[in-house]
Structure 1
Amino acid sequence: MPRFKAALFLLQAYLKNQLPTLVGLFLVFIINTALLTIGPLILQTYLVNINRSDSHSLLIYIALLFLGVAAISPLFSLLEVFVAENLSLQITNQLRLDLTLHCLHQDLDFSLKYPPGELIERVDDDVSDLNNFFSRFLVSIVGNAFLIVGIQVILFHIDWRVGTLMLLFSAVSLLAINRLHTLSAPHWKNVLQMRGKLFGFLEERLAGTEDIRACHAEMYTLRGLVERTRLLVRKQRRALQMIFATRSTMVVLFSVSSALALTLSIYLYALRAIDIATVYTIYYFTVLLNSPLEQILEQWRNLQQSTGCITRIVELLEIHSNIKDGERMLQVTGPLALEFRDVSFSYAEGTQALQKISFSLRPGEILGLIGRTGSGKSTITKLLARFHDPQQGVILVNDILLTELNLQSLRAAIVLINQEVQILHATVRENITLFDDTISDERVIQILEKLGLDQWYQGLPKGLDTRLTPGEFGLSAGEAQLLAFARVFLSNPGLVILDEISSRLDPVTEQRLERALDYLLQDRTAIIIAHRLLTLQRVDTVLVLENGTCIEQGLRRQLADDPHSHFAQLLQKGNMEVLQ
């Protein structure tokens, strides 16, 4: 989308809901502009009457009027700033909310393409840079345009030669501003793109600090940081040079206009065409004309910086998920039935992650998925959560095509738990309920006790109101998994997917987790991806994957009793961790 259209799109989308405030801001700005224009006219009247012998009382009234205008004008300026900033905060906060929800509704490919650091920079910093754009750009451009027109009318009324000179000056100045803005905008977009890449680089390296230290890659990381910082400085220097060029051009134009106006006024005064009061008025309005032009220049300068932000925001909003939401709601009244029919999927052309996978689960049945790393186990779970859609075949839940189901109801009915449990920077209650205020504290505490987290909970300084961050309050990896189980109990899904949740746990912690699993899997369909024998003892059927294909499936007991089955051979080795 072109830059100008992108700016209009944002203005129209977010200002239309703020029309009363916007109209009020316009009124305040117009009153303030009128006060600026009236001031010099009052002063001219004072100068015209100063030599009259009978004008003493009139001069007092004029002086009081001038002082009154001078006193009221700052109050309207303050009110204008307050209304503008309030308007900007409301719009930018709404824009941040919309961008955040938009990003959360994207598919998994979007998350892989844009690292979290870059998204934070685009959602927060880009929007912050638009404060002035939303609060003052439109009002300032239109208001100052009115002021320029008003000054031009007054100058033409004084003398057509003065009005013509200032009109030419205004036109040349605006054309120069527009040209410099056109040249500057791409440079600011490049700066913002480089900032996004830098933040993405920092986020990824900070998240991998332990691995970087373990591999002695500190200098490699610093070199990458220096290279990106150097590129950012170069791009920012070029953008600032364009700003300085714009400002220098306007300073020269303002100086020339003031000199020409004063020279012309003196010439007209010499011809007795105007008096000394009018000379002052012409000069005052010439200087005053510089103010709205300079403010327009300032808004154009802000637009130069904002254009890159606007373009990036609109580009982000124009990204749409490849996963299309369905219309049918999935009602969970018990365990779900599941069926895969000849499902094939590839992440990239020529690389098959799954090839013609078929299996079915009755309500309440538990499936064990086993296979080496890269065999396609996690791909099956991602397809079930509709992070991707298969290129071939279909998936049915309760005899309904997965693609026909509403995504929100689907992901409430099918819950995925993996080994990386996300602990939110929030209270214990919010971490478990996921900010659902309808769940009572009694229900939360009951589930914590049922999962064996009662001792951990009792040791918290503020109970459910204790704020958690990763690694605090002795929350081990096993306890974090139990916390994820508590979330599942509260959401009450019909199908649970456990993706290698015990692969990093010691045997003692794993036994504690297994006891909690007994509660979790009651009256639920489940898919368990595991490397250890203990976890697979509870499954009803087993599916063995290799290179994206199913090489074996059947009832666990039958496969275990068949000495020629892959599953039986793994049992004989006595250690499922060979699959890693």
Structure 2
Amino acid sequence: MTKKKENIFDFVLFKRLFQYIKPYKGVFIGLFVLVILLALLSAVMPRLTKEAIDLGISLGDSETFLVYVVIMFGVLMFQTIFQLSFIYYAAWLGQNLVKDVRIKLFNHLLQFKMKYYDNSSVGVLITRAVTDMERIADIFGQGLFMIFRDILTMVVVFGFMLNSNWRLSLIVFIMLPILLYATRLFQKYMKVAFEEVRTEVSNLNSFVQERITGMKILQLFTREKVEHENFKTINERHKKGWLKTVWYNSFFFPIADLASSVTIGLVAWYGGLNVIVGTVTQGTLVEFIMYIPMLFRPLRQIADKFNTLQMGMVAANRVFKVLDTTSQIDDTGTMVAEHFKGNLKFDDVHFSYVENEEVLKGISFSVNAGDTVAIVGATGAGKSTIINLLNRFYEIKDGAILVDNIDIREVTLASLRTQIAVVLQDVFLFADTILSNITLNHPEITEAEVQQAAKDIGIHEFIMSLPNGYHYNVKERGVMLSSGQRQLISFLRAYVTNPSILVLDEATSSVDSYSEQLIQNATDKITKGRTSIVIAHRLATVKKADKIIVMDAGIIVEQGTHDELLKKKDGYYKNLYEVQFLQEEVVV
């Protein structure tokens, strides 16, 4: 099988990246003007040195020599100013371009289905949004313009050398193809090496992120040694990837230095002989000795900067793969739901997370506006899946979900989710204040409204007992609060949005008795007068429900009130009640 030829530089990818430069076209053009000026000024300096020697020192004309010194100083000052401007604005362009790409990427990630995140590594996505973005910035700050400047410098120097002495130029150009070939090989192998490095960086980031997040589990199950060994393995692969790039660098750059030194030696030997016989001036010999590093060093720098450019292109390719991923829920609805009455209906709904493995197998039930429905069943019965589908985190396979007799697919996603508030068992809090975690920085929800809502559901005193009250920073994932306290914050977060439909997903399954009482009071308050779906865990919630839906293995096996279901001989709910709920009632 013939291996597809590997392109050293992906022009299609670069053309796509180039589209983000359009808002900064003026700066981009200005940078190219600076590149041209820097190349010209760099090549002019050896020529001025030649004239200063030949017309000043050799002829003993101090006045002429002084004039050339002043000119050289002026050129040097302009060169310094242009260089400073070039470095700053090249980096400025790269950072602004990356800012735009990063915003687009993050907005794209916000629209993905939950299924995408189910199958993706958080560490890899963080690498795409942070580390890879910096590599893209380097394309312009340290790659593209630097390469163009070096190439242009070489072309200008090439012209000046030919103009000065073609015989000495020939000696230099004999060595040049050797270095050009070595540079091409170097670039080819470095691209492959950097692909491997980026892969290993992503793997390492993902591994470390997951282990730090799950550190409590690792320590509880004494997995420190095992994970230490796993980390050593992945870190070793990371090291080998980088060492491959180091090996290529350590091989190429000494060759480049050797070629430059040999060339200078040959020019000094041949030019020195010609100076003696009078066919070459001393100034010309010095000029060529100055030009050789200016011709060879850019070639070496091009190889070095090409590494940076390739790393940036590899990173850009990875970022664009995420941007090209189509994993969004189809938001084709045109109806904006300002408020639902709350009539809810699941009509023969089928769904599977994995193809051909149905989780819901034709679920049908209805909820009247203002009623509270409890859903009970064993783990894996499909209870939480119903909540995910109601919010359209996933798309159903068959059937329909209707609110007020309207298919939820006809409603815009934003307005649908605004009317549905969910309180999860595993509450997620951001590293921010309690107030920000409640409002999620919604501009229309004031602190006064939050405090009043907290008083309404009976948790104002609890919040005020914390340092700084509503401005208490709960740190990452709310670690400064207990699970019960986090749950209370989640209830308040749901309540302040004044939803039409409320969902409680086992919201009281793992809290202390004091928090449970507060939560029960809060539940009674926020469910009053609005449609509520409760993934039931506590007996009190089940008994108060207007309807209980009993699920098993993706189907509804029973429906009815608490009393109705208890009357069914050998009923699923009755058995569940006697095994689980009745024991709980006795304990209480």
Which TM-score applies when normalising by structure 2?
Answer: 0.90
Residues 418 and 499 of structure 2 are in contact (CA less than 8 Å); yes or no, is this contact kept in structure 1? yes
Is residue 525 of structure 1 aligned with residue 531 of structure 2?
yes
In 1: Cα distance, 2:548 partner to 2:332 partner: 31
Deviations 1:316-352 (A, max 9, x none): 2222205322242431324333222211122224432
From 411, 417, 423, the counterpart of 2:417: 411
How far the C-alpha of 1:377 sits from its partner, in A, is 0.6
In 1: Cα distance, 2:463 partner to 2:179 partner: 69
Residues 400 and 407 of structure 2 are in contact (CA less than 8 Å); yes or no, is this contact kept in structure 1? yes
Question: What are the within-5 Å matches in structure 2 for residues 467-482 of structure 1?
Answer: 467-470=473-476, 475-482=481-488
Where does residue 380 of structure 2 map in the other structure?
374
Where does residue 54 of structure 2 map in the other structure?
48
Residues 333 and 409 of structure 2 are in contact (CA less than 8 Å); yes or no, is this contact kept in structure 1? no
From 146, 161, 167, the counterpart of 1:140: 146
Is residue 249 of structure 1 aligned with residue 248 of structure 2?
no
Where does residue 447 of structure 1 map in the other structure?
453
Unaligned runs of 5+ in 2: 1-5
Question: What are the within-5 Å matches in structure 2 for residues 216-227 of structure 1?
Answer: 216-227=222-233
Q: Percent of pairs identical after alignment?
A: 25
SS at match of 1:259: helix
Is residue 158 of structure 1 aligned with residue 189 of structure 2?
no
Where does residue 345 of structure 1 map in the other structure?
351
Is residue 59 of structure 1 aligned with residue 65 of structure 2?
yes
Is residue 537 of structure 1 aligned with residue 543 of structure 2?
yes
Is residue 198 of structure 1 aligned with residue 226 of structure 2?
no
SS at match of 1:423: coil
Where does residue 268 of structure 2 map in the other structure?
262
Residues 43 and 160 of structure 2 are in contact (CA less than 8 Å); yes or no, is this contact kept in structure 1? no
Question: What are the within-5 Å matches in structure 2 for residues 323-342 of structure 1?
Answer: 323-342=329-348
Is residue 515 of structure 1 aligned with residue 510 of structure 2?
no
How far the C-alpha of 1:89 sits from its partner, in A, is 2.3
From 457, 474, 486, the counterpart of 2:492: 486
Is residue 207 of structure 1 aligned with residue 224 of structure 2?
no
In 2: Cα distance, 1:454 partner to 1:445 partner: 7
From 285, 293, 300, the counterpart of 1:287: 293
SS at match of 2:380: coil
Is residue 554 of structure 1 aligned with residue 553 of structure 2?
no
How far the C-alpha of 1:264 sits from its partner, in A, is 4.5
Where does residue 435 of structure 2 map in the other structure?
429
Give the stretch that moved more between structures: 232-241 or 304-313. 304-313
SS at match of 1:352: coil
In 2: Cα distance, 1:537 partner to 1:233 partner: 60
Deviations 1:84-106 (A, max 9, x none): 22222222233333322222322
Measured at CA, do residues 169 and 394 of structure 1 come closer, stay the same or move farther in structure 2, by a change above 3 Å?
farther
How far the C-alpha of 1:516 sits from its partner, in A, is 0.7
Measured at CA, do residues 473 and 173 of structure 1 come closer, stay the same or move farther in structure 2, by a change above 3 Å?
closer
SS at match of 2:72: helix
What one-letter code is carried by the residue in structure 1 that aligns with 2:65? L
What one-letter code is carried by the residue in structure 2 that aligns with 1:402? I
How far the C-alpha of 1:556 sits from its partner, in A, is 4.9
Residues 50 and 283 of structure 2 are in contact (CA less than 8 Å); yes or no, is this contact kept in structure 1? yes
Is residue 311 of structure 1 aligned with residue 317 of structure 2?
yes
Deviations 1:203-222 (A, max 9, x none): 22222222222222222222
Give the stretch that moved more between structures: 137-146 or 267-276. 267-276
Question: What are the within-5 Å matches in structure 2 for residues 108-187 of structure 1?
Answer: 108-167=114-173, 169-187=175-193
Unaligned runs of 5+ in 1: none
What one-letter code is carried by the residue in structure 2 that aligns with 1:330? V
Measured at CA, do residues 477 and 554 of structure 1 come closer, stay the same or move farther in structure 2, by a change above 3 Å?
same
Deviations 1:448-493 (A, max 9, x none): 2223332233234434433221587963222212211222233332
Deviations 1:149-193 (A, max 9, x none): 111111121233444554555454344323221122122222221
What one-letter code is carried by the residue in structure 2 that aligns with 1:440? T
How far the C-alpha of 1:421 sits from its partner, in A, is 0.9
In 1: Cα distance, 2:34 partner to 2:464 partner: 58
Deviations 1:85-144 (A, max 9, x none): 222222223333332222232222221222222322232122223332132322122222
What one-letter code is carried by the residue in structure 2 that aligns with 1:417? V
How far the C-alpha of 1:576 sits from its partner, in A, is 6.6
How far the C-alpha of 1:233 sits from its partner, in A, is 1.7
Which TM-score applies when normalising by structure 1?
Answer: 0.91
Where does residue 371 of structure 2 map in the other structure?
365
What one-letter code is carried by the residue in structure 1 that aligns with 2:540? L
Where does residue 78 of structure 1 map in the other structure?
84
Where does residue 35 of structure 1 map in the other structure?
41
Residues 147 and 306 of structure 2 are in contact (CA less than 8 Å); yes or no, is this contact kept in structure 1? no
Q: CA RMSD in A?
A: 2.7
Measured at CA, do residues 255 and 217 of structure 1 come closer, stay the same or move farther in structure 2, by a change above 3 Å?
same
Where does residue 402 of structure 2 map in the other structure?
396
What one-letter code is carried by the residue in structure 1 that aligns with 2:152? F
Measured at CA, do residues 563 and 506 of structure 1 come closer, stay the same or move farther in structure 2, by a change above 3 Å?
farther
SS at match of 2:358: strand
Give the stretch that moved more between structures: 239-248 or 369-378. 239-248
Residues 342 and 393 of structure 1 are in contact (CA less than 8 Å); yes or no, is this contact kept in structure 2? yes
Give the stretch that moved more between structures: 317-326 or 222-231. 317-326
Measured at CA, do residues 106 and 174 of structure 1 come closer, stay the same or move farther in structure 2, by a change above 3 Å?
farther
Measured at CA, do residues 472 and 113 of structure 1 come closer, stay the same or move farther in structure 2, by a change above 3 Å?
closer
How far the C-alpha of 1:502 sits from its partner, in A, is 0.7
In 2: Cα distance, 1:17 partner to 1:329 partner: 35
In 2: Cα distance, 1:250 partner to 1:27 partner: 29
SS at match of 2:130: helix
Report how many aligned residue pairs link the two structures. Answer: 578
How far the C-alpha of 1:546 sits from its partner, in A, is 0.5
Residues 323 and 386 of structure 1 are in contact (CA less than 8 Å); yes or no, is this contact kept in structure 2? yes
Where does residue 298 of structure 1 map in the other structure?
304
Where does residue 275 of structure 1 map in the other structure?
281
In 2: Cα distance, 1:30 partner to 1:461 partner: 61
Residues 547 and 561 of structure 2 are in contact (CA less than 8 Å); yes or no, is this contact kept in structure 1? yes
Where does residue 87 of structure 1 map in the other structure?
93
What one-letter code is carried by the residue in structure 2 that aligns with 1:523? G
In 1: Cα distance, 2:319 partner to 2:180 partner: 27
SS at match of 1:396: strand
Measured at CA, do residues 474 and 340 of structure 1 come closer, stay the same or move farther in structure 2, by a change above 3 Å?
same
Is residue 101 of structure 1 aligned with residue 104 of structure 2?
no
